[in-house]
A and B are shown apart, each in its own frame.
Chain A
Amino acid sequence: MYKYFLRLLASVLLLLGFSMSANAEFKVGFVYVGPTGDHGWTYQHDEGRKAVEAAGIKTTYVESVPEGADAERVIRQLAQSGHDLIFTTSFGYMDPTNKVAKDFPNVKFEHATGYKREHSNVSTYSARFYEGRTLLGHMAGKMTKTNVIGYIASFPIPEVIRGINAMTLAAQKVNPNIKTKIVWVFTWYDPGKESEAAQALIDQGADIIMQHTDSTAPVQVAEKAGVWSFGQASDMQRFAPKSILTSIIDDWAPYYVERSIAARDGTWKQQNTWHGLKEGMVAMAPYNSAMGSGLVKEVEKLQKDLASGKAHSFTGPIYDQKGNLLVAEGKVADDGMLAGMSVYVKGVEGDIPK
C-alpha cells in the first residue's frame, strides 16, 4: 500500500512539474490549412514559424487542418495546452478563431486574411497580394499572343476576386484585347485537379496560366505545354524553369517574429495589419529574362511605384462587369472597398459563384 502511495505521489509531482514548466515557457502555436510541404502557402507560413524559432521562441504547429469545425477543436487544443500566441493561417479559420478567443482572454490570437476582430485578443493580418497580381497582369498583357489569360481560382472570397481584378486591370492597361478566363476548382490544394484545370484553360486558348491555389502542379503543366506561368506564394521557379515569369512570394517571417516578441514582452496590442510590397510582406521572385530586358525594366519600375505609393493597383476609372462605375477617374479604391470586393471588373468573363 505504502509503495502504491509513493508511486502515486511521484506521478502527481511529475505531472505538476510538467504543467508548471508548460505554463512557465512562452509558446507560439500555428495552425496550417495545408501540409508544410506544399511548397506554396503553408510552406511560407512555416518558414515564418522557423524564423520565430530562430529568434529563440518555442513554437508548435498543426498542419492540414480543415477549415470549419475541426479547426475550432485544434485551436482550442492549442490554447488549452499553454500556447500564449496562436497564428491561424487561413481565411476559413476566421469564426473558429474568434470563438476560441472569447474563452481564452489571456491567449493572443492572430488570424490571417480575415476581417473579424470580435475580441480584444484577436488581431488580423494579411498581405496585399493584389499588388503582386498587378505586376503579373502587366507581364501577362505584354507576353500573351492569344490574348487569353487563364486563371485558376480557389474559392469566391474577396481575397481571390481582388487578385483576379487587379491582374485584369493591369493587363488591360497594356493590352486592351485580353480576356481573363477563370476556372474555379473549390480547393486550395489538389495537385491533380489543379493540373486538370490548367490543361483545360490551355486547351481553351490560354497561353498564360495564373493560379490562386497552392500546389506547383499548374506551373508544371504550363511548362510541358510551352506556355507562360506564374508561381504562387513561394518561388516555384525550379518546377518550371522555362515557363515561370516570376512568383509572388509571401514573406511572413518579419511579422511573425515581431508579433511573437511583442506578445512575449507584453507589448502586444490588437491591430489590423495589411502590408504589401512596401513593407516586404509581398515580394517578387527574380524575373525570367525570357521576357526581355525592356519588359523586366518596366515591371521593376512598376514594382517600385507600387511600393512607394506612386502607383496603385486599383486606380480609377474602374467599372464592374455591368458597366457601373466602381472607382471614379483619378481616385484609388480605399481599403474598405478592397477588403470587401465581391464583383468582377469589366473584361472578366463569367459569373462569380455565389
Chain B
Amino acid sequence: MNIDINFLGILIGAIMASSVPLILAASGELITERSGVLNLGVEGMMIIGAISGFALMVITDNLFLAIIGSMLSGLLLSLIFGFLTQSLLTNHVATGLALTIFGIGLSAMIGKDFVGIPGKEFPLLFVNLKEVIPLFGPIFFGHSIVFYFAFLLPFGTNYFLKKTKIGLIVRAVGDSPISAANQGINVLLVRYCCILYGGAMCGLGGAYLSLIYTPQWIENMTAGRGWIALALVVFATWSPLKVLVGAIIFGGITILQLHMQAMGIRIPVQFLSALPYIMTIVVLVIISRDSRKIKLNTPTSLGQIFYKEK
C-alpha cells in the first residue's frame, strides 16, 4: 500500500467529483422541499437532464447549449409536476413517483438514437495548477465548471434561505402556506418557482453524468442516484451544508471501498458495499442531533396539498 501525498490528492479529488451529481440534485430538491413540496421525481428529472444534455451535445456540438438544455429539460419535466400538484392538486408522492417512471421511460425512448456515440471531452479548468501544487492541486484544480458550481451551491443555498428575503418567503410558504397566503404571499407562484428550480438542478446533475463524469448515453445511467439525493435531503434535515457533507461522505466511501478492495484489504465485500449507505446515515444522524434545529429546518407543510379558497 503506497499512499503518497499526490495519490491522496487524486483520491480526494475523485471523491469530490463523484459527489457532484448528488450535491446538485439534492440542493435543488432541498429548495423544492423547503417550500413544502415533496417531489419524488428527482431520478426522472436527472435522467431526462442526462439524455437532453447528451443529445444536444451530439446535435449542436456545443457543450454550453447542452448544459443549458439539460437544465431546461429538467425544468420542463418539473413543470408537469408543478401543474399537476399545485394547479390540479394531485398527491405529491404519487405524482412524483409517476414523474420518475415517466422520465426513465421517456429518456430511453429519446436516447435510442444516441446509444453508442462516444462523448466529447469536457473542458477542465486550471489543469496546469493541478500538477504544480502538491496535495491541493489534484483536489481543487483540473475540474469542470459544473464541479465548482456544485461546491459553491450549498453555501449559496444556505445564504439564500437564511439571509435573503426571498429565502424567508420560501421558508414561510413551506412552514405554513395558509399564514403565508394571508400575508399576501402568492404561495402558488413561490412553489412553482421552487419546483422549477429543483427540476433545473436535477437536470444539471444528470447532465454532469452524461457529459462530464461518464461522457456517453446509456439507458438508466443515473442508476438510482436520484433516490440517494432524496434520502440525503431528509437525513441532512433540510440543511444545505449538511447535504454537502452527506454527499461527500457517500461519494467518498463508495470510492474508498473500491480502493480497499483493489488494495486487497480483507473485509467482507458485501459489508464494504453497504458501507456508504450506513456511514452516510450514521454521520448525518449524529451531526443533526439537535432537535430544536431540526424543527427549525423542517418544512412543516411538506407534501401537503395546499388549496386557497377564493
Q: Give chain A's interface residues, CB within 8 Å of chain B.
A: 34-39, 64, 150, 181-187, 189-193, 195-197, 199-201, 203-204, 206, 215-217, 220, 238-239, 349-351, 353-354
Docked Cα-Cα span, A349 to B215, in Å, equals: 31
Whether B99 is near chain A, meaning CB under 8 Å from some CB there, is no
Q: Are B213 and A195 in contact, with the CB atoms below 8 A?
A: yes
Given A189-B223, A191-B214, the answer on whether A201 and B262 have CB atoms closer than 8 Å is yes
Min Cβ gap B8→A in Å is 11
Instruction: Give the 8 A-B CB pairs with smallest separation, nearest first.
Output: A35-B219, A200-B258, A37-B115, A353-B269, A204-B262, A190-B223, A37-B219, A183-B261
Docked Cα-Cα span, A204 to B7, in Å, equals: 10
Whether B266 is near chain A, meaning CB under 8 Å from some CB there, is yes
Q: Which residues of A contact B220 (CB under 8 A)?
A: 34-35, 64, 189
Given contacts A37-B115, A191-B218, 7 further A-B contacts (CB under 8 A): A34-B220, A191-B209, A193-B254, A215-B221, A220-B216, A239-B216, A353-B269
Q: Are A183 and B262 in contact, with the CB atoms below 8 A?
A: yes
23 examples of A-B residue contacts, CB within 8 angstroms:
A35-B219, A35-B220, A36-B219, A37-B111, A37-B112, A184-B273, A186-B270, A186-B273, A192-B213, A192-B221, A193-B223, A195-B213, A199-B14, A199-B255, A200-B258, A200-B261, A200-B262, A203-B259, A206-B262, A215-B218, A217-B216, A217-B218, A351-B266
B223's partner among A37, A191, A238 (CB-CB below 8 A) is A191
How many chain B residues sit at the interface, stated as a range, is 35 or more
Whether B93 is near chain A, meaning CB under 8 Å from some CB there, is no
Q: Which residues of B contact A182 (CB under 8 A)?
A: 261-262
Q: Give chain B's interface residues, CB within 8 Å of chain A.
A: 7, 10-11, 14, 18, 108, 111-112, 115-116, 118-119, 209, 213-216, 218-221, 223-225, 254-255, 258-259, 261-264, 266, 268-270, 273
Q: Which residues of A contact B216 (CB under 8 A)?
A: 191, 216-217, 220, 239
Q: Which residues of B contact A183 (CB under 8 A)?
A: 258, 261-262
Docked Cα-Cα span, A50 to B255, in Å, equals: 39
Q: Which residues of A contact B254 (CB under 8 A)?
A: 193, 196
Docked Cα-Cα span, A64 to B108, in Å, equals: 11
Docked Cα-Cα span, A181 to B261, in Å, equals: 8
Q: Which residues of B contact A37 (CB under 8 A)?
A: 108, 111-112, 115-116, 218-219
Among A186, A203, A220, A239, chain B packs the most CB atoms within 10 A around the CB of A203
Among B112, B268, B273, chain A packs the most CB atoms within 10 A around the CB of B273
Docked Cα-Cα span, A195 to B251, in Å, equals: 13
Closest to A181 in B: B262
Question: How many contacting A-B pairs (Cβ < 8 A)?
Answer: 109
Closest to B270 in A: A353
Q: Which residues of A contact B108 (CB under 8 A)?
A: 35, 37
Q: Are B262 and A35 in contact, with the CB atoms below 8 A?
A: no
A181's partner among B14, B111, B116, B264 (CB-CB below 8 A) is B264
Q: Are B255 and A196 in contact, with the CB atoms below 8 A?
A: yes
Q: Are B112 and A350 in contact, with the CB atoms below 8 A?
A: no
Closest to A218 in B: B214
Q: Which residues of B contact A206 (CB under 8 A)?
A: 262
A196's partner among B7, B10, B258, B270 (CB-CB below 8 A) is B258
Q: Which residues of A contact B268 (CB under 8 A)?
A: 353-354
Q: Are B221 and A191 in contact, with the CB atoms below 8 A?
A: yes
Min Cβ gap A275→B in Å is 26
Among A181, A201, A350, chain B packs the most CB atoms within 10 A around the CB of A350
Q: Are B209 and A192 in contact, with the CB atoms below 8 A?
A: yes
A350's partner among B213, B223, B264 (CB-CB below 8 A) is B264
Docked Cα-Cα span, A350 to B258, in Å, equals: 13
A349's partner among B111, B255, B264, B273 (CB-CB below 8 A) is B264
Q: Which residues of B contact A216 (CB under 8 A)?
A: 216, 218
Docked Cα-Cα span, A190 to B7, in Å, equals: 25
Q: Are A239 and B10 in contact, with the CB atoms below 8 A?
A: no
Closest to B251 in A: A196
Min Cβ gap B114→A in Å is 9
Given A35-B219, A195-B214, the answer on whether A204 and B259 have CB atoms closer than 8 Å is yes
Docked Cα-Cα span, A35 to B224, in Å, equals: 15
Min Cβ gap A72→B in Å is 21
Docked Cα-Cα span, A224 to B118, in Å, equals: 12
Min Cβ gap B238→A in Å is 26
Q: Are A203 and B10 in contact, with the CB atoms below 8 A?
A: yes
Min Cβ gap B84→A in Å is 25
Docked Cα-Cα span, A150 to B111, in Å, equals: 31
Q: Are A217 and B259 in contact, with the CB atoms below 8 A?
A: no
Docked Cα-Cα span, A190 to B224, in Å, equals: 9
Docked Cα-Cα span, A190 to B108, in Å, equals: 15
